[in-house]
Homo-oligomer: A and B are copies of this chain.
Amino acid sequence: MEISELGEFGLIERLAREIEVKNEGTVKGIGDDCAVLAPTAGMRTVVTTDLLVEGVHFDLSYVPLLHLGYKAVMVNLSDIFAMNARPRQLTVSLAISSKFCVEDIEALYDGMRKACTKWGVDIVGGDTTSSLTGLCISITAIGEARPEDIVLRSGARPNDLVCVSGNLGAAYMGLQLLEREKVIYDQQVADLRKRMGDAKAKGDTSELTALNAQLSTLSQPDFSGREYLLERQLKPEARGDIITVLQQAGIHPTSMMDVSDGLSSELLHICRQSQTGCRIYEERLPLDYQTAAMAEELNLNVSTCALNGGEDYELLFTVPLEQNDAVQALEDIRVIGYITDADKGCALITRDGGEFALKAQGWNPLKKE
């Protein structure tokens, strides 16, 4: 169904139909000039926002809209968790070009709803409009935390341990894989189209029929054995579970942020805002086997990918040295280094003992290459 058949209000009504409010704190959701929320007494509110633009942040030739919706929400929830807070509500604004139909937007919303359901978050409002080119998604997420629980980027102190959840670089490898297969697939299509043109010019109808059949059955790339990398890229999970684990273990990070632009970039943010330096050990970087295998296949340095890859949506945090035993006992969390005085700078210690200054080579969409 074409979106123009429904118009803005019809589309919103259709999308809002399936949205149920789950939080006590959501007094009024979609349908008025504003959403109305009742903050829990004594709690702080945290707010984050992200803008995703087609062609810059996602390529719809290999990103299904369902996954895109899921990811768009998760990247915002990740920022809420990075404050040691809990997400409660979000607003979704979409600018939609005429190439999308109602079912496309429903698929996108379905993905967003799935991500929200996972973390008990209410979609409470938004804006839906047209776009001259492509899709644009703006999400604002709202969360809550007790004042004493909130963790900023600026609280790291010398001798604190630097920790990271999960593993790094896999989402970047997933992207490389998708991009590579896209190029191969596009090339195959272009070759077939060219041969079909030649056959047509020659009037060779049997050749044309054969090529047409080849085109229609042109196989999608085989990603078997690489599913984990694709999942990390297409369907990342915000690490709310880590927040719970730390709380249960009585560990209160001194600083925290999520790894969206790459570990190096995030470490530099924490150190700059905390006025410290850091030492990170290459051998301690958490890597999945598939990430290492893919890096080798693509002839990339896997440590560089882990440091600068981005989109891992893991949590990077620091804890006081005294909590070493407590943090080492936790699953899926790795101590990768420690915080130093600012004058020591931020460095990576390589496997052979070399020391290299960390650089923010991750995602920076406005920076000149």
Chain B residues contacting A132 (CB-CB under 8 Å) are 53-56, 133-134
Q: Is the CB of B3 within 8 A of A366?
A: yes
Q: Is the CB of A32 within 8 A of B95?
A: no
Contact with B along A140-152 (1 / 0, CB 8 A): 1011000100101
Chain B residues contacting A125 (CB-CB under 8 Å) are 47-49
Q: Is A11 an interface residue (CB 8 A)?
A: yes
Chain B residues contacting A140 (CB-CB under 8 Å) are 47, 49, 91, 140
What range describes how many residues of A lie at the interface? Answer: 35 or more
Q: Is the CB of A365 within 8 A of B8?
A: yes
Stretch in A66-74, A81-89, A322-330, A332-340 touching the partner: A81-89
Chain B residues contacting A50 (CB-CB under 8 Å) are 93, 127
Chain B residues contacting A45 (CB-CB under 8 Å) are 36-39, 45
A154 to B29, CA, bound (A): 13
Q: Is A6 an interface residue (CB 8 A)?
A: yes
A10 to B50, CA, bound (A): 18
Q: Is the CB of B51 within 8 A of A127?
A: yes
Closest B residue to A56 using CB positions: B130
A56 to B43, CA, bound (A): 39
Q: Is A251 an interface residue (CB 8 A)?
A: no
Q: Is A126 an interface residue (CB 8 A)?
A: yes
A16 to B288, CA, bound (A): 38
Name A's B-contacting residues (CB within 8 A).
2-11, 27-28, 31-39, 41, 43-51, 53-57, 79-80, 82-83, 85, 89, 91, 93-96, 124-134, 136, 138, 140, 142-143, 147, 150, 152-154, 256-258, 273, 360, 364-368
A-B contacts, 10 listed (Cβ < 8 Å): A28-B152, A31-B273, A37-B44, A39-B45, A45-B45, A51-B95, A55-B132, A129-B365, A131-B136, A140-B140
What are the 6 tightest A-B residue pairs by CB atom distance, in nearest-first order?
A: A7-B367, A138-B138, A4-B368, A34-B46, A51-B93, A33-B82
